[in-house]
Structure 1
Amino acid sequence: MPYIDQKARPEMDSLMDPLIDHIKSLPLEQQDAVLDYVLTRMLMSLYHPPFFNFNRALGVLTAVTQEYYRVVIAPYEDEKIRDPGPVRAKPED
């Protein structure tokens, strides 16, 4: 979980919101590439040699992936699994 003090979030949000709005305004087929560019540029600006810092960057990316799955995807899957039901190793007779 991104443990940022609640009081610090409005400043970050005010900086990110225009960029998010801009990316959302782009054609769908461009949004992923632009987001990739933005994230890569941020990482390249913040994490420099030695390898210890590259490893920190990979840790952040891993944590982001897990947080997105936990907060966004897992609840969606929990809701959607009700429709077709869970996957089973062998269909019930």
Structure 2
Amino acid sequence: MPYIKQEDRPKLDQLVEQMKEAGIAANGDLNYLLYAFCKRHVSPSYNNYKNFIGELNQCATEIERRILAPYEDEKMRENGDV
């Protein structure tokens, strides 16, 4: 996870809140938003696209590790293991 310096977070957190207020959800909206950003603002080159995809993959990995895994562990404790 890229830990962003405290002083650099407010502008990014503001964007996150704007996305929430706009109703951006993981139902196609987020996919469109990320694709549109890449298409419009990532300079065309193999390396730039590769780096963008790497950022997306690392984000998914971090969600699995820090959010999904603890949730699954909690549900296993609540409901018993398989």
**TM-score, normalised with respect to structure 2:** 0.81
Residue 8 of structure 2 corresponds to residue 8 of structure 1: yes
1:90 counterpart residue number? none
Q: Percent identity?
A: 34
Q: Which has the larger radius of gyration?
A: 1
User: 1:61 aligned to 2:40?
Assistant: no
Quick one: distance in 2 between partners of 1:86 and 1:15? 39
Note the aligned Cα RMSD (angstroms).
2.0
> Given residue 23 of structure 2, which amino acid in structure 1 is its aligned partner?
I
SS of the aligned residue for 1:83 comes to helix
CA distance in 2, matches of 1:73, 1:46: 30
Distance 1:4 1:70 in 2: 18
Higher relative contact order (CA 8 A, sep 6+): 2
| Contact 1:23–1:31 under 8 Å retained in 2 | no
How many corresponding residue pairs? 82
Map residues 32-71 of structure 1 onto 2, 5 A cutoff: 32-71=27-66
